[in-house]
Structure 1
Amino acid sequence: MLIPDIERTSSRDRMVAVQRTTIEAVSAVRPLKIISLISLVIAMGFLILALCSTSWLKTGSFRTGLFKECTSSNEPTHAAPFPGAPAPGHCHGPSRNQGFLIAAAVLLFVALACTLFASIFNIVGLSKSDVRGKYRWYKLATVLSGFAALCELAALIEFPAAFYVNMNEYGSRRNWEVDWSYGIAWGAAFFTLGSVVMLVCDKDHEQVYYKEKTTFNPPPELLER
């Protein structure tokens, strides 16, 4: 009579489910990461607009950008405002001071490329579930955004300084003004700097919390039924 009891006891022991407790690292998307991505996208739009525009500097009916200079059709003299300027209603490439214009354009193109890749790396970081993977992509985005901001600031400081040095080549005109495209470029720089600040201040370890998960694995006898 004792043997059947032992067998039943062993059977009950085998019927006990196995309990397992695991701890998972869960990452949460923080608002500053998304805001920094939006800032980078806005900065890219501003950079493209500034590069394509012909309104960086103006004097009277004449205006110049990084790649073209134009004279509006309402020029009162109905002639080029100074030697080398395009005729009223026409545009052509810069006829002078091309060195500092090319330098500013190259710096802004580098900034645009860095901002584009920083945005892509930020998106990849947001989509990653691995905490270490997120950190690597966010770090790359931060470095590229910072370099883009430095290039933008260098271009925006170099442009008016170099123009002032070579202003005599435009004749006797002295009433020069920076136009709206120059302000748009500064807007791009501020948005890029803001993105860098948000990426730096939003520490990666703050977005990680740990979740305890308990699972029960039924014995094979129950699975066979």
Structure 2
Amino acid sequence: MPIQTTTVETVTVVRPLKVISLVCLCLSLFLLVIALSTTYWLKTYSFHTGLFQECTDRSVGALSNPVPNAAPEGQCQPPARNTLFVRTAAVLIIVAAAATLFAIFVNTAGLRSNDLHRKYVFYKAATWLSLLSVLAELVALVGFPICFYLSIHSYGLRNWEFDWSYGVAWGALLFVFGALLLLICDKEHEEVYYKEKTIYNPPNEFA
């Protein structure tokens, strides 16, 4: 009688949504770093401010429209007025950046792991960290203009605009929110495993 040999092969299929979510998290972290490190959240004439520094450019506007307690022309300094809301926004953005960074790590660990249970744990952690980042950024970006409007009298001028650093922070929020949606939508089907059965039927003379 012929001998039958059966082999079982397991094939792991990585779902593309997990990879796309990882890319979104990386882009979000990159934009958050830019938003934190630049000084263009608010501007008026030659004065612009970020979360940690406020600067005065060298221009005619610096003399004709001075901001009280602003830095000298061509220089920067830490915020010089009541800036509790600025510090709060900075802390929230830092928390969001840290949560996004950890989400990148655990998402990557989930993609690299071959254990289904560990994958589930890693992806669930990435989902919660992404949610934390979304909430922290949302509170910071919505609360920042509201608090600034309430304390605008301390800046002396009323002609203010939100600048590109603030817009970059919103871009970071959109990317991490996209990553969160991808992780949530794909949570029921982490990986797909296929079992292939191969049967060998050698010739009768080898039986």
Normalising by structure 1, we get a TM-score of 0.82
Partners of 1:206 and 1:29 in 2: CA distance: 8
1:89 aligns with 2:69: no
2:203 alignment partner in structure 1:
none
Structure 1 residue 79, shift from structure 2 partner: 7.5
1:126 aligns with 2:126: no
2:142 alignment partner in structure 1:
157
Unmatched 5+ residue regions in structure 2? Answer: 201-205
Partners of 1:192 and 1:76 in 2: CA distance: 38
Matches within 5 A, 1:1-225: 17=3, 19-20=5-6, 22=8, 26-76=11-61, 78=63, 81-171=66-156, 173-205=157-189, 207-214=191-198
Deviation string, structure 1 residues 50-81 (Cα, Å, up to 9, x no partner): 00010000111111110111110113454881
CA contact (8 A) 1:79 1:87 kept: no
Rg (Cα) greater in structure: 1
SS at match of 2:39: coil
Structure 1 residue 207, shift from structure 2 partner: 3.0
Unmatched 5+ residue regions in structure 1? Answer: 1-12, 217-221
SS at match of 2:189: helix
Partners of 1:132 and 1:214 in 2: CA distance: 28
Structure 1 residue 103, shift from structure 2 partner: 0.3
Structure 1 residue 86, shift from structure 2 partner: 1.0
Quote the sequence identity (%). 50
SS at match of 2:66: coil
Specify the code of the residue in structure 1 equivalent to 2:72: A
Partners of 1:170 and 1:124 in 2: CA distance: 47
Q: Which piece of structure 1 moves more, 105-114 or 78-87? A: 78-87
Partners of 1:114 and 1:105 in 2: CA distance: 14
Question: Quick one: structure 1 residues 84 and 26, their matched pair in 2 at CA, closer, same or farther if it must change by over 3 Å?
Answer: same
Partners of 2:96 and 2:56 in 1: CA distance: 29
CA contact (8 A) 2:22 2:104 kept: yes
